[in-house]
Each structure stands twice: as structure tokens, then as C-alpha cells.
């Protein structure tokens, strides 16, 4: 078995959670000038590399790894798993890790935009003036926020999702690919919206039970 060489440089970042989001985050971190140092897997996940980045341990090993690494980002899957992501963020903070945000250089941010800790913002995402994101948000490629939108903690926007002006998305929400949200709407905590849905004042109530499904996946 070949020896795993750990990159412990100043820009080295642990990726906490394997899977498709983790694999996609590797080139994002690299584009943002960061170094993906290794993957931390959950207790029941395959101990495997992600996009060429080696596994360095499991969740229980974070305390052991803390002397060698100071920066981390949560890359665990988001879909119906916001509770897990919250727990991982809390654990990293308690251990003294800095939560890194990676913003692709091809993402667009207008004036007065505030990005929270531990965000992953992919290429061609767009945040108009006055937008705010909380901790641990994920904006996949081409996601678009019009002026004054606010994302609370651990919100996921799929590729090409479009939020109209002033939309508020509460904690733990998951919006799929190409979801459109009309201006001024407020999406409740943990709502799950599948791909290609157009949310209006009339259609939003159809998805308002999303918070009941957290933890089912």
C-alpha cells in the first residue's frame, strides 16, 4: 500500500464528507487558490479518494488531525441532510478549525454582498447587490440571486437555480437544478424543492412540508 503524503501548507484544506459534492469541490478549491489536503469520511462511508484527493480519516479522527490542519470545509452531501451538515460545522468549530469559503473566480458578486463561512460558490454563480449567505451554503454552477436575496445557514441551490429579488431562503433548504423562485417569496426551513420547479405564491404551498423529511435520506 502506497504511503499517503499529507499537504500541510498554509492553504491546505480538509474536505469533510465524501461523495459527489466533495468531488465537485476539489477543482473549485483549486480554482480559488486553495489546496485540497485530504478527505474525511463518515463512519459508514467507503474510505476512498475523491477526485484524486486521498482519504485521511473519518469524523472521529478530526481531533487527531487538528494539530496538522487548521482549515476545513464541509463537503458532505446536502440533499435532505442539512442536520448532518450542521453537526459537522459545529464539530469543526468546537475543535478550532477555520471554516473556509471557496468562491470560483468566474462567480460574480456585486457590491455589498456578504458571503458566510464555509460556503462553496461554483463557476458562473451570480449574487446581485445586497445579497447575503449564511454559514455552509452551496451555490452550484450558474445559480443566480437577484438583488437583496438572503440565504440562511446550510442552504443548497442547484445548478441554474434562479431567485428573484428579495427572496429569503430559511435554514437547511435544498433547491434543485433550474428551480425558479418568484421575487419576494420566503422559503421555509428545510424545504425540499426538486429540479425544474417554478415557485410562485400559488405553487409554494405544495412544497411547504419539506421540513418534515429531513434525515430521511
At 17-61, the pLDDT tens digits run 999 999 999 999 999 999 999 999 999 888 999 999 999 999 999
pLDDT band for position 212 (50/70/90)?
Answer: very low
**Domain 102-210, CATH number (from 3.30.200.20, 3.30.1330.120, 1.10.579.10, 2.160.10.10):** 2.160.10.10
**167-187 average pLDDT score:** 97
If you write DSSP's letter for every residue of 182-199 in order, what string do you get? -TT-EEPTT-EE-TT-EE
Domain with CATH 2.160.10.10 in the chain: 102-210
Res 74: pLDDT: 97
Strand 174-175 relative to strand 55-58, pairing: unpaired
Res 176: pLDDT: 96
2 has a pLDDT exceeding 70? no
Percent of the chain at pLDDT above 70?
90
Segment 69-96, tens digit of pLDDT: 999 999 998 776 788 899 999 999 999 9
* Cα 87-93-95 angle, rounded to 5 deg: 105
**171-192 average pLDDT score:** 96
**138-156 average pLDDT score:** 98
Q: State whether the Cα torsion 171-185-139-43 is positive or negative.
A: positive
End-to-end Cα distance, the chain: 34
Q: Is 93 helix (H, G, I), strand (E, B) or coil?
A: helix
210 has a pLDDT exceeding 60? no
Domain with CATH 3.40.50.20 in the chain: 12-99
Assess if CATH 3.40.50.20 describes domain 12-99. Answer: yes
pTM for the full predicted model: 0.90
Helix intervals (H) in 66-159: 82-94
Distances (CA, A) of 80 to 27, 151, 155, 197, 216: 24, 17, 11, 17, 7
pLDDT band for position 122 (50/70/90)?
Answer: very high
Cβ–Cβ under 8 Å, residues 124 and 144: no
Res 1: pLDDT: 31
Helix intervals (H) in 50-193: 62-65, 82-94
Res 80: pLDDT: 60
CA separation for the pair 205, 9 (Å, rounded): 49
Res 208: pLDDT: 75
Torsion of CA 20, 113, 13, 156, to 10 degrees: -20
Res 209: pLDDT: 55
* Cα 15-13-19 angle, rounded to 5 deg: 15
Q: Of 75-79, 128-132, 190-194, where does mean pLDDT reach its minimum? A: 75-79
Lookup result for grid cell 462553496: 120
Res 10: pLDDT: 60
Res 143: pLDDT: 99
Amino acid at each position: 500500500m502506497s504511503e499517503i503524503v499529507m499537504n500541510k501548507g498554509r492553504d491546505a484544506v480538509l474536505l469533510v464528507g465524501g461523495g459527489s459534492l466533495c468531488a465537485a469541490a476539489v477543482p473549485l478549491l483549486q480554482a480559488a487558490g486553495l489546496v485540497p489536503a485530504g478527505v474525511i469520511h463518515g463512519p459508514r462511508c467507503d474510505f476512498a479518494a475523491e477526485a484524486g484527493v486521498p482519504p485521511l480519516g473519518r469524523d472521529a479522527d478530526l481531533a487527531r488531525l487538528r494539530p496538522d490542519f487548521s482549515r476545513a470545509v464541509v463537503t458532505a452531501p446536502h440533499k435532505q441532510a442539512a442536520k448532518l451538515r450542521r453537526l459537522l460545522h459545529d464539530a469543526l468549530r468546537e475543535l478550532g478549525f477555520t471554516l473556509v469559503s471557496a468562491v470560483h473566480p468566474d462567480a460574480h458578486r456585486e457590491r455589498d454582498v456578504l458571503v458566510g463561512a464555509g460556503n462553496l460558490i461554483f463557476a458562473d454563480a451570480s449574487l446581485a447587490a445586497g445579497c447575503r449567505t449564511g454559514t455552509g451554503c452551496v451555490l452550484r454552477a450558474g445559480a443566480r440571486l437577484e438583488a437583496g436575496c438572503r440565504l440562511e445557514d446550510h442552504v443548497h441551490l442547484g445548478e441554474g437555480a434562479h431567485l428573484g429579488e428579495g427572496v429569503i431562503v430559511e435554514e437547511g433548504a435544498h433547491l434543485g437544478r433550474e428551480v425558479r423562485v418568484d421575487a419576494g417569496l420566503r422559503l421555509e426551513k428545510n424545504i425540499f424543492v426538486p429540479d425544474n420547479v417554478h415557485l410562485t405564491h400559488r405553487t409554494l404551498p405544495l412544497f411547504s412540508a419539506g421540513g418534515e423529511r429531513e434525515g430521511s435520506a
